[in-house]
Each structure stands twice: as C-alpha cells, then as structure tokens.
Homo-oligomer: A and B are copies of this chain.
Amino acid sequence: MRPIKVAILGFGTVGSGVYELIETKQDLLEQLLGGPVRVDAVLVKDVGKSRTIHDDVLVTDDFSEILRLPELDVVIEAIVNVEPGYTYLRRAIEAGLYVVTANKELFANKGFELRQLAEKRGVKVCFEATVAGGVPIIGALKQLLRFNQVVKVEAILNGTMNYILTKMREDQVSLEEALLQAQRLGYAEADPANDVEGFDVLFKVVILLELLTGRKIDWDLVRCSGISDITPADISQASVRGERIKHVGSLVVDDQGQVEAEVRPVSVGESHKLYAIEGVDNAIVVTGDLTGDLVFQGPGAGKYPTASIMIEDLVSIFQSIKKAAVSR
C-alpha cells in the first residue's frame, strides 16, 4: 500500500504532538492501516523558527503550497480562531482531502457547512478532538449510541474552569489566585477570557447540539455565562450545603427535536454525577432514553491525549476506506 500522506496545520502543543506520534508510532499505524503514514508538510506562521521536523518535510506558511503536494490524503488542523482555518479546510475538502480538526471555535461556527461540503465531495471531516480533548465522546454518540435517543447532556467541558473551581474550594483562594496557579501550571492561557467567560464551553455545546440534531444551531438559543462572578463566599456557602459549584454545559432535546441549552455555573449535590469531577478533567453525562445516564470522563486537553484522539480519527477514516476497498 502506498503511504497515507498527511499535512499538519499548526505546530503548537497539539500539532507537534500529532507529528511526534506519527513519527514514533509507525509500527502501530502500519499494523492498524496496512501501510505507513507520512507527514509531508507542516503549515506554520513563522517558517524561520527552529523546530524538530525532518528535512524532507515541507515547512511552509503558504497553504497553497500544501494543496499542490502530489497525492496528499488528509489535513490535520490544530490552529485557533475561525480564520484562517475555515478557508484552509474548505479548500482542502474542495480538493478532495479528508480533514481532522481540533479547532472548536472554527467547528462551532462553521462545522455544519464543512460537513455538508464534505458530504457533497465524498470525504469526511472528523472532529473528535473539538469536544473534551482525549475523551472519545463524539465517537460514542455517533457510533455507539445510535439506537438511543439522547434526551439530555450535562457536562464539564473546560478543564481550566474546573481546575479553578476545585482550587478555590480546596485552598479557599480567590478566583484571581486560582487562575494564576492555573496559568503557572500551563492549564490556562495568558488571556483566559475564552475559558473563564464560558465561550469555550459554548463552542462545545453548539458542536454537540449540531451532532445530535443534524441541524445548524442558532447560538442565541444558548444562554451563556462563565465563572467570573463566582466568589469564595459562593463556594463556601455551597460547601455548607454539601454542594460544589461546577461550570456546566447542558442541553435537552425533546421528542420533536426541539432543543434547550445553557452554559453556566451550577451548584450540585453529592448524588450528581458531576460532583466528583475534579481538577482539569472533563466529564459528559449523556442521558439516553433507553440506556439511562452514561458518564464519559477524562483529560479535556493536553498534548498527547488530544493528539492521540486526532490520530484515532485518522485511523477510523482509513480503516473504513480499507474495509470498503476489501469488499469491492
């Protein structure tokens, strides 16, 4: 089999993790896919910066150069913001390439359009890494729970906020101090607004809603608030009641497919499935009409969890192509 040829867009934590794993896990990939996987190109902002990338890999800041590569199969995108990612991925799909993305802001805004375009073009867009990092929640909903109607989802989808709320309670410190600790440990960005104001969770809730309903979701439907108003007093009052404050994204889908969704801090008691989720973990409680409450928990971010789940997407694409070819 000829190699599967990959371009990686973005070489930050996740992008470089994908590169590293493809380099170091060739044996496993060959075993899973029947042939090697080769990184042919990496798209970066600054080509001058020094990076540990093999000499025969094209390192460029020009996406058109990547599209001109012969026999490229798949684009793995791990950059931030809606643009330039959306333009890149649209062009990739139009050129008949498969796409794997971790970009939640892009996918919340333009995922519906990208999936429609991919269907027309006969390729796939995989987005497991956009929600809950290393937790395979998209696959569970798409592949494992099709006969169940998902009637409710309640989830902790931002590890930074969950870490801050856990720290505030455990160490009885202010939000500012807990945030500083999170930044020191690399859990929070220098500009934490996307996390702390709840937008990051909003993106993920929109992605889940579009997956569950098959429709383009109007964001105005989703009330969104973050944790910036939460005080140590709120936390200790909750503790007195035996409760913990968690930042929760929730959605309900009724019989007619109508949705209600909300992103906000919630005080939960010990019997709530999200009570015990601490630190940087994410957790998703999925209520199926038949199977009841299922909880999926794990690291919501991080280099290898996120990169590995993107390669799981890559594997699923090419295993299903292989299967189809075998049955031909």
Contact = CB atoms under 8 A, between A and B. Distances in A.
Interface of A: 21, 25, 28-29, 32, 134-136, 139-140, 143-149, 273, 275-276, 283, 288, 290-299, 302, 304-305, 307-309, 311-312, 315-316, 319-320, 323-325, 327-328
Contact of A292 (B21, B148, B302): B302
Contact of A293 (B298, B319, B324): B298
Nearest to A308: B290
Nearest to A128: B144
A272 B305 CA distance: 20
14 contacts: A29-B147, A134-B291, A134-B294, A136-B144, A139-B143, A139-B144, A143-B143, A143-B316, A144-B312, A276-B276, A292-B299, A292-B304, A295-B296, A295-B297
Given A25-B147, A144-B136, A304 B291 contact: yes
A147 B308 contact: yes
Point out which of A32, A292, A315, A324 has the most chain B C-beta atoms below 10 A from its C-beta: A292
A209 to B, nearest CB: 20
* A-B CB proximity, top 7 nearest: A276-B276, A290-B308, A324-B327, A295-B297, A136-B144, A294-B298, A134-B291
Contacts of A273: 297
| Secondary structure class of chain A's binding surface, majority of residues | mixed
A312 B146 contact: yes
Contacts of A325: 327
B298 A297 contact: no
Nearest to A325: B327
Given A283-B295, A324-B324, 17 more contacts: A21-B147, A21-B290, A25-B147, A134-B290, A134-B291, A134-B294, A136-B294, A140-B140, A140-B144, A146-B319, A147-B308, A147-B315, A148-B312, A290-B305, A292-B299, A293-B299, A323-B324
